[in-house]
């Protein structure tokens, strides 16, 4: 198992290299010129001399391969360059804003799990009856509604009309409720539906039938024979949702003026702050790969079959 | 008993309310918002230093007013030598920086010398490359020596950066200026807090502090105002959409629109067919109904533009009139120039060439897209085909610079750059305006006249020069001016005396005060 984990971590290196190269190429394939954005943000008229001066100051006058190699060399020393816009070291800025995003994303993940499991269970247990209908309605709405729209509806209801919750900023638990719900609802809905389908599927299987035939209590049948087998798709889906939750944070942070890495990255994209975009993608890639690793480990732990076939092979 | 209790209770409530209204906070806070943090506030720094914040902390020698004139500020008076190359300023007495050190000629010279020491970075500003040296003959006299006469010297001294004054010994990241506010605290991504400068030489601001929250989304900003997280929204850079402005106005917030600050206009390429024909450019000016555009797209928030510059800018009150909206006349203009309708086709033709123009706009701007579509529709009615071309901002500037456009959105730079900096740039290849004008038969004469005006020491002659330049461009219909850009302001009723800055870049928090008698 340890060997497997180390192997996966080693594999992260080529993944990061590949991602950094692709992102670099994509950024420079675009039509825009970060020097122009710098001048625009500085309110300097874009004259030829001003443009040349800005290009030189930002290091954009060098040939592209040279730019990439020098970036890569510095990145290997954990120096991801200086933001074109804030003028501070990129890694310093991103790590400054990361905790706020992890707080939001982590709580959204927790909410997803804590709410989707009871909903999925209820829907499967009382299939076709009113709990199932209610869950279907909630999940239908959750899956169909974009998170930013939900965020604005929540703000309209709880901040503008009722005045119960602050519409923006970071502070106490009251600041967390709306952004967390806005991020979590879609993943929660998908998870609930998945769990319901998986439960219903397992319920039909023969071992459940035999468990009942053996005279086990309905409670034990559900706990030991249905639920344990129905977890698996949920674990996989949760691994994928981590990416979704972080992606959701990008938009939601902007709406709720949440001082996180997502809002910082969105403004970097709008202003073509290449060093920030490069470092941000690498950071997200690392996070996602690590999360997938954790999911795979959970999977192996939950299901001996994958442990035997996939991991040890 | 119940009645008595109710009476007593209401009495208590009333008196508490009265006490609250009268025991005014000695240092109330005004909350405002900005898309990013204020930055380290280096007096000579560009992005990420925000200009509104630099304008709060640092002050100029002379100040630009909303009438396009200059008023004494850190300098109480000045004289200009007859050859226009020496400016002598008398500095205001008893001005100190916020750390207590004196603002005198030596400190002012140190600040300007720091600009000259790094002149490459600031050479976009013509004064910096024109400035030969700075002298401080005594405590209160500052002398600027120029390489050659440059009349907009005072205008450029009034700008927010880089020619304002920081304390010579201030450390980076700890800004010290002479202005009414001090940057007291910054929390990245959350807010900047400015406090009143108790040593300020001018009128003491009524607010004890200004809290500027970091909000980047326009809708979130509007909600923050509605829920009381903000007291004030003000700015000219799309702080909220025109539609939101109207909605807030109708729901009872105090709103205001500033005097014109810049011009929203479309430049036409005189070096490229078919806009190289004067008749085509004139017809376009006759065929677009600006009033409808303003009413439908801009929600009536911007006044109609008749000329390239509004008449509250220096030297621009020339009485230039736009061609009235008259599609019939536009069609006749085109017909007289030989553009004829072919049977079965809506687009006019001449010598087998269709009357077709490419209009380049910023694809990420919903506003420009709407404007472009309306212009397309209007011109189609008179037989001109407009092909819309959306570009990213980088690519858009690239097209401006290379002259790859038939028509292109090209706003003026606004006060205090208008008109002198904007007109100055018309001379340089690589500018949308140079590119737009290069097909004019009198382009060389225009450029020579611009150079002459910028160095002209005689006020009368200078005004005459501007008249000639701007009238020629107007008569040649190089531009389709649409409207004058304005700043908007929306405030809660706890703020009084909300006013606008005289440029696109400053907000005069120091003149605002808490409203009395209202919650």
Per-residue pLDDT, B217: 87
The region that residue B146 occupies, defined by phi over 0 for left and psi between -120 and 50 for alpha, beta otherwise, is beta
Is residue B104 helix, strand or coil? coil
H or E segment to which residue B402 belongs: helix B393-402
Choose among A45, A50, A160: nearest Cβ to B223.
A160
Partnered with residue B70 across adjacent β-strands are B64
Per-residue pLDDT, B194: 97
Residues in chain A within 8 Å Cβ distance of B392: 30-32
CB B80 within 8 A of CB B184: no
**CB-based contact, A82 to chain B, within 8 Å:** no
Per-residue pLDDT, B14: 45
Query: What residues have CB less than 8 Å from B60, skipping those under 6 apart?
Result: B73, B74, B157, B158, B159, B163, B164, B165
Distance from CA of B107 to the nearest CA of A (A): 25
Residue closest to B322 by CA, chosen among B310, B332, B338, B313 = B310
Looking at A147-156, B10-19, B164-173, B415-424, which range is the least confident one?
B10-19
Residues in chain B within 8 Å Cβ distance of A167: 220, 223-224, 227, 229
The region that residue B292 occupies, defined by phi over 0 for left and psi between -120 and 50 for alpha, beta otherwise, is alpha
3-state helix, strand, coil in chain A (%, to 5): 80, 0, 20
Is residue B87 helix, strand or coil? strand
Strands B86-91 and B141-146: antiparallel
Contact between B431 and A85 using a beta-carbon 8 Å cutoff = no
**CB-based contact, A179 to chain B, within 8 Å:** no
Looking at A140-154, B6-20, B103-117, B444-458, which range is the least confident one?
B6-20
Distance from CA of B122 to the nearest CA of A (A): 8
ipTM of the complex: 0.84
Per-residue pLDDT, A234: 84
User: Which residues, numbered 24 to 43 in chain A, qualify as contacts with chain B under a Cβ-Cβ cut-off of 8 Å?
Assistant: 30-33, 36-38, 40-43
Q: Which of A35, A92, A257 has the highest number of chain B CBs within 10 A, making it the mutation to test binding with B? A: A257
Residues in chain A within 8 Å Cβ distance of B46: 38, 41-44
| pLDDT over threshold 80, residue B2 | no
Per-residue pLDDT, B517: 54
pLDDT digit string, tens, across residues B212-259: 999 988 989 999 999 999 999 999 877 888 889 999 999 999 999 998
Q: What would the two tokens of residue B348 be?
A: 């006019």
Contact between A255 and B227 using a beta-carbon 8 Å cutoff = no
| Residue pairs between chains A and B whose CB atoms are closer than 8 Å | 122
| pLDDT over threshold 90, residue B342 | no
Looking at A244-258, B87-101, B453-467, which range is the least confident one?
A244-258
Stretches where chain A sits below pLDDT 70 are 31, 306-313
Contact between A266 and B48 using a beta-carbon 8 Å cutoff = no
CB B399 within 8 A of CB B360: yes
Mean pLDDT of B32-47: 91
Per-residue pLDDT, A82: 87
Is residue B429 helix, strand or coil? coil
| pLDDT over threshold 50, residue B5 | no
Q: What is the 3-state secondary structure (H, E, C) of B198-262?
A: CCCCCCCCCCCEEEEEECCCHHHHHHHHHCCCCCEEEECCCCCCHHHHHHHHHCCCEEEECCCCE
Mean pLDDT of B200-213: 95
| pLDDT over threshold 90, residue B441 | yes
**CB-based contact, B172 to chain A, within 8 Å:** no
Contact between A257 and B121 using a beta-carbon 8 Å cutoff = no
User: Which residues, numbered 308 to 367 in chain B, qualify as contacts with chain A under a Cβ-Cβ cut-off of 8 Å?
Assistant: none
Query: What residues have CB less than 8 Å from A229, skipping those under 6 apart?
Result: A202, A205
- CA-based R_g, chain B, Å: 26
pLDDT digit string, tens, across residues B295-326: 988 899 999 999 999 988 889 999 999 889 99
Per-residue pLDDT, A307: 62
Residues in chain A within 8 Å Cβ distance of B398: 31, 33
pLDDT above 70 covers what percent of chain B? 95
Contact between B394 and A37 using a beta-carbon 8 Å cutoff = yes
Partnered with residue B352 across adjacent β-strands are none
Q: Look over chain B and give the mean of its residue pLDDT values, rounded to a whole number.
A: 89
Specify the higher pLDDT residue, A9 or B494: B494
Give me the phi and psi of B183, to 5 degrees please: -75, 110
Residue with tokens 């997938």: A292
Distance from CA of A137 to the nearest CA of B (A): 29
Specify the higher pLDDT residue, B518 or B83: B83
Q: How far is the first Cα of chain B from the last one, in angstroms, to the nearest whole number?
A: 32
The span from the CA of B156 to the CA of B162, in Å, is: 9
* Chain centroid, CA A216 distance in Å: 41
The span from the CA of B183 to the CA of B92, in Å, is: 23
* Chain centroid, CA A37 distance in Å: 28
pLDDT digit string, tens, across residues B69-85: 899 999 999 999 999 99
Residues in chain B within 8 Å Cβ distance of A266: 216
The span from the CA of B320 to the CA of B340, in Å, is: 31
The region that residue A29 occupies, defined by phi over 0 for left and psi between -120 and 50 for alpha, beta otherwise, is alpha
Per-residue pLDDT, A3: 82
Per-residue pLDDT, A286: 87
| pLDDT over threshold 70, residue B114 | yes
Contact between A96 and B47 using a beta-carbon 8 Å cutoff = no
Looking at B88-92, B420-424, B482-486, which range is the least confident one?
B420-424
The span from the CA of A258 to the CA of B212, in Å, is: 15
Q: What is the 3-state secondary structure (H, E, C) of A272-305?
A: CCHHHHHHHHHHHHHHHHHHHHHHHHHHHHHCHH
Q: At what angle do helices A90-125 and A261-270 cross, to 10 degrees?
A: 120
Per-residue pLDDT, B24: 57
Distance from CA of A273 to the nearest CA of B (A): 12
| pLDDT over threshold 50, residue B19 | no
């Amino acid at each position: 198992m340890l060997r497997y984990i180390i192997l996966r971590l080693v594999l992260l290196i080529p993944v990061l290299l590949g991602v950094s190269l692709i992102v670099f190429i994509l950024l420079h394939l675009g039509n825009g010129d970060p020097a122009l954005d710098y001048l625009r943000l500085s309110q300097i008229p874009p004259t030829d001399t001003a443009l040349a001066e800005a290009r030189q100051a930002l290091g954009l006058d060098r040939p592209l391969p040279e730019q990439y190699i020098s970036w890569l060399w510095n990145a290997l020393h954990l120096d991801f360059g200086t933001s074109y816009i804030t003028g501070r070291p990129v890694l310093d800025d991103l790590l400054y804003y990361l905790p706020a995003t992890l707080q939001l994303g982590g709580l959204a993940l927790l909410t997803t799990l804590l709410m989707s499991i009871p909903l999925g269970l209820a829907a499967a247990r009382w299939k076709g009856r009113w709990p199932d209908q209610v869950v279907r309605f909630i999940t239908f709405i959750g899956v169909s509604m974009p998170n930013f729209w939900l965020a604005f509806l929540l703000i309209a209801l709880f901040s503008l009309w009722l005045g119960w919750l602050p519409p923006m900023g970071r502070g106490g638990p009251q600041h967390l409720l709306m952004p967390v719900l806005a991020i979590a609802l879609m993943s929660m809905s998908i998870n609930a539906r998945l769990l319901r389908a998986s439960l219903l599927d397992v319920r039909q299987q023969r071992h459940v039938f035999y468990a009942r035939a053996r005279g086990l209590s309905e409670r034990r049948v559900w706990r030991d024979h249905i639920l344990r087998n129905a977890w698996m798709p949920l674990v996989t889906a949760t691994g994928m949702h981590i990416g979704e939750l972080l992606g959701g944070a990008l938009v939601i942070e902007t709406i709720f003026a949440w001082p996180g890495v997502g809002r910082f990255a969105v403004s970097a994209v709008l202003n073509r702050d290449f060093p920030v975009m490069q470092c941000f993608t690498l950071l997200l890639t690392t996070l996602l790969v690590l999360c997938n690793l954790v999911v795979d480990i959970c999977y192996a732990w939950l299901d001996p079959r994958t442990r035997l076939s996939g991991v040890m092979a | 008993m119940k009645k008595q209790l109710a009476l007593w209770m209401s009495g208590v409530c009333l008196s508490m309310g009265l006490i609250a209204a009268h025991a005014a906070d000695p240092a109330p806070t005004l909350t405002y918002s900005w898309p990013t943090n204020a930055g380290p506030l280096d007096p000579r720094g560009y992005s990420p230093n925000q200009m509104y914040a630099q304008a709060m902390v640092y002050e100029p020698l002379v100040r630009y007013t909303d009438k396009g004139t200059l008023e004494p500020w850190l300098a109480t008076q000045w004289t200009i030598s007859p050859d226009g190359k020496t400016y002598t300023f008398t500095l205001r007495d008893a001005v100190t920086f916020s750390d207590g050190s004196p603002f005198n000629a030596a400190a002012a010279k140190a600040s300007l010398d720091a600009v000259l020491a790094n002149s490459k970075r600031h050479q976009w500003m013509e004064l910096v490359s024109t400035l030969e040296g700075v002298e401080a003959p005594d405590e209160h006299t500052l002398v600027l020596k120029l390489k050659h006469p440059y009349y907009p010297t005072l205008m450029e001294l009034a700008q927010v950066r880089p020619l304002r004054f920081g304390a010579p010994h201030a450390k980076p990241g700890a800004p010290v200026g002479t202005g009414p506010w001090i940057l007291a605290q910054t929390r990245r991504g959350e807010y900047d807090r400015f406090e009143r400068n108790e040593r300020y030489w001018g009128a003491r601001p009524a607010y004890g502090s200004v809290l500027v929250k970091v909000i980047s989304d326009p809708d979130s900003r509007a909600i923050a105002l509605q829920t009381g997280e903000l007291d004030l929204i003000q700015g000219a850079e799309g702080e909220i959409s025109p539609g939101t402005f109207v909605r807030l106005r109708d729901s009872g917030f105090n709103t205001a629109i500033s005097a014109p600050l810049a011009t929203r206009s479309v430049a036409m390429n005189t070096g490229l067919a078919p806009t190289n024909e004067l008749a085509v450019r004139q017809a376009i000016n006759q065929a677009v109904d600006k009033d409808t555009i303003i009413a439908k797209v801009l929600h009536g928030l911007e006044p109609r533009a008749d000329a390239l510059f509004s008449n509250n800018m220096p030297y621009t009150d020339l009485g230039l009139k736009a061609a009235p909206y008259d599609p019939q006349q536009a069609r006749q203009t085109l017909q007289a120039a030989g553009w004829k309708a072919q049977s079965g086709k809506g687009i006019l033709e001449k010598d087998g060439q269709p009357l077709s123009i490419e209009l380049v706009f910023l694809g990420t701007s919903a506003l420009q897209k709407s404007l472009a579509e309306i212009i397309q529709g209007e011109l189609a009615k008179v037989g001109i085909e407009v092909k819309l071309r959306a570009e990213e901002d980088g690519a858009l500037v690239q097209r401006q610079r290379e002259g790859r456009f038939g028509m292109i959105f090209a706003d003026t730079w606004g006060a205090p750059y208008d008109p002198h900096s904007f007109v100055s740039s018309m001379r340089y290849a690589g500018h949308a305006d140079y590119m737009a004008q290069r097909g004019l038969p009198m382009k060389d004469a225009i450029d020579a006249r611009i150079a002459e005006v910028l160095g002209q020491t005689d006020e009368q002659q200078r005004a005459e020069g501007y008249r000639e330049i701007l009238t020629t461009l107007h008569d040649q219909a190089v531009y389709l001016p649409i409207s004058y850009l304005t700043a908007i302001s929306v405030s809660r009723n706890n703020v009084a005396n909300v006013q606008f800055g005289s440029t696109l870049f400053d907000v005069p928090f120091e003149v605002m005060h808490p409203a009395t008698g209202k919650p």
